[in-house]
């Protein structure tokens, strides 16, 4: 392995000078610069990041704890993170918590031990108190993604309430008066906010909502499927439209609808939070609210890098808007 000392020898200068030309950290004569650069080329020298990290206590490394690597939303966000990270000449360390608080703690620990310069985390809705503390006292800056928590850190979130209100308003406009909602777990702030958007849309039109139309269910598609079946079986006047708060819920709901033999949009209108690659290939194509996933990732990295650069910054929150993808899964309700 070729080291800085080798380069110095070949170039006929001191290690100091080599270090300074590499890092552009003090003036070096043009002549010396050239000899060093040639020496680097001829020897194929690559600085050892570990030696550098040891010396500078900075690693040019960012960590990302994904709440669930198998979730397309997470991987989409990760793309943005990876892009912005490598653009900044940093490296990305990835860990997965699988929404398990214990794994989450371990992941955070492992990254901290790796001396990352900053952490991006999509907290699990199950996060334990311990995790909250770990984050509060984390050795380096942390950015929260898509989650709320009473923590004094930067975060990038999505404007759930207003966006959903507009989506639901579409349905209201079409004459739907009972819109069932199949939502993820209530303690998950995104689920709660999206339901709030649903409520807000009604209130703005002076409509009262029936809490019985809200179905907070477990985290799996299967839970949503069961809930959908329940809704359809219930004696009360059946909703004429359904709203799902994330793509996992959408999957389950769609399966439930099919199991019940209902077809969209004739028997039931539907709109969903989260867009996905196949949404336009369903029958009918599904109207969705698409999250700006890539941007979420890029912004998270930016916030992190900014704070690493200046720890005294005020906590900032970047709020991004989802985008409506109007397709054809909901229809005007016939009058009467």
In 3-state terms, what secondary structure has residue 275?
A: coil
Residue matched to tokens 């709901």? 253
The two structure tokens encoding residue 134: 């770990």
Q: Is 5 in the site for a second copy (CB under 8 A)?
A: no
Q: Is 59 in the site for a second copy (CB under 8 A)?
A: yes
Q: Are 276 and 113 in contact (CB under 8 A)?
A: no
Q: Are 99 and 124 in contact (CB under 8 A)?
A: yes
Considering the complex, state which of residue 175 and residue 285 has its C-beta at the smaller distance from a second copy.
285
Binding residue (CB under 7 A) for DNA from 31, 277, 310, 314:
31
Binding residue (CB under 8 A) for a second copy from 83, 162, 166, 262:
83
CA dihedral 201, 203, 208, 213 (to 10 degrees): 30
Binders of a second copy in range 97-136 (CB under 8 A)? 107, 110, 112-115
How many alpha carbons lie under 13 Å from residue 229 in its C-beta half-sphere? 12
Q: Which does 280 bind (CB under 5 to 8 A by kind): DNA, a second copy, none?
A: a second copy
Binding residue (CB under 7 A) for DNA from 52, 98, 238, 327:
52
Q: Is 255 in the site for a second copy (CB under 8 A)?
A: yes
Binding residue (CB under 7 A) for DNA from 38, 42, 54, 323:
54
CB of 151 to DNA, least distance (A): 27
Q: Is 69 in the site for a second copy (CB under 8 A)?
A: yes
CB atoms within 10 A of CB 225: 22
Give residue 241's Cα distance to chain centre: 28
Q: Are 182 and 227 in contact (CB under 8 A)?
A: yes
Beta carbons within 8 Å of 242's beta carbon, 6+ residues apart: 179, 180, 181, 182, 228, 231, 253, 257, 268, 269, 270, 271
Q: Is 14 in the site for DNA (CB under 7 A)?
A: yes
Considering the complex, state which of residue 3 and residue 328 has its C-beta at the smaller distance from DNA.
3
Which region, judged by CB under 8 A, interacts with a second copy, from 93-101, 162-170, 175-183, 323-331? 93-101
The two structure tokens encoding residue 235: 């004696």
Range 29-48 burial, b when 16+ CB lie within 10 A, else e? eeebbebbeebbeeeebeee
Considering the complex, state which of residue 189 and residue 328 has its C-beta at the smaller distance from a second copy.
328
Binding residue (CB under 7 A) for DNA from 34, 42, 48, 315:
48
Beta bridge partner(s), residue 49 = none
Which region, judged by CB under 7 A, interacts with DNA, from 24-32, 130-138, 288-296, 320-328? 24-32
Beta carbons within 8 Å of 145's beta carbon, 6+ residues apart: 77, 120, 121, 122, 155, 156, 157, 296, 297, 300
CB of 6 to a second copy, least distance (A): 16
Q: Which does 3 bind (CB under 5 to 8 A by kind): a second copy, DNA, none?
A: DNA
CB atoms within 10 A of CB 217: 24
Among candidate residues 72, 107, 114, 130, the one with its CA nearest the CA of residue 278: 72
Q: Is 276 in the site for a second copy (CB under 8 A)?
A: yes
Q: Is 9 in the site for DNA (CB under 7 A)?
A: no
Binding residue (CB under 7 A) for DNA from 9, 43, 47, 75:
47
Considering the complex, state which of residue 28 and residue 286 has its C-beta at the smaller distance from a second copy.
286
The two structure tokens encoding residue 218: 């477990």
Q: Is 102 in the site for DNA (CB under 7 A)?
A: no
- Residue ranges binding a second copy (CB under 8 A): 1, 46-51, 53-54, 57, 59, 69-70, 72, 75-76, 78-79, 82-83, 86, 91-96, 107, 110, 112-115, 251, 254-255, 258, 276-278, 280-283
- Residue ranges binding DNA (CB under 7 A): 1, 3-5, 12-17, 19-20, 22-23, 25-29, 31-32, 45-48, 51-52, 54-57
């Amino acid at each position: 392995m070729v080291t800085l000392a080798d380069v110095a020898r070949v170039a006929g200068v001191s290690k100091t000078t080599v270090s300074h030309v590499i890092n552009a950290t003090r003036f070096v004569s043009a002549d010396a610069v050239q000899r060093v650069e040639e020496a680097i080329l001829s020897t194929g020298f690559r600085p050892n990041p570990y030696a550098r990290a040891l010396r500078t206590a900075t690693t040019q490394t960012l960590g990302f704890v994904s709440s669930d690597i198998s979730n397309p939303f997470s991987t989409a966000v990760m793309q943005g993170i990876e892009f912005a990270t490598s653009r900044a000449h940093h490296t990305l360390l990835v860990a997965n918590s699988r929404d398990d608080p214990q794994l989450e703690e371990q992941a955070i620990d492992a990254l901290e031990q790796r001396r990352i310069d900053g952490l991006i985390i999509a907290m699990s809705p199950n996060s334990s108190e311990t995790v909250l503390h770990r984050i509060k006292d984390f050795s380096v800056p942390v950015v929260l993604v898509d989650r709320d928590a009473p923590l004094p850190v930067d975060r990038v979130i999505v404007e759930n309430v207003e966006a959903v209100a507009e989506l639901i308003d579409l349905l209201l406009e079409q004459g739907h008066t009972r819109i069932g909602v199949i939502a993820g777990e209530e303690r998950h702030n995104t689920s709660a906010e999206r339901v709030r958007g649903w409520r807000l849309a009604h209130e703005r039109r002076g409509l009262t909502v029936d809490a019985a139309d809200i179905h907070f269910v477990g985290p799996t598609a299967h839970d949503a499927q069961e809930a959908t079946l329940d809704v359809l079986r219930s004696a009360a006047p059946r909703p004429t439209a359904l709203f799902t708060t994330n793509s996992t819920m959408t999957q389950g709901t769609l399966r439930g609808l099919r199991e019940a033999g209902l077809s969209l949009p004739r028997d039931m209108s539907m709109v969903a939070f989260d867009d996905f690659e196949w949404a336009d290939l369903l029958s009918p194509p599904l109207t969705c609210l698409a999250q700006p996933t890539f941007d979420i990732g890029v912004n998270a990295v930016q916030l992190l890098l900014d704070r690493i650069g200046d720890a005294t910054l005020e906590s900032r929150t970047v709020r991004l808007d989802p985008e409506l993808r109007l397709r054809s899964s909901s229809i005007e309700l016939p009058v009467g």
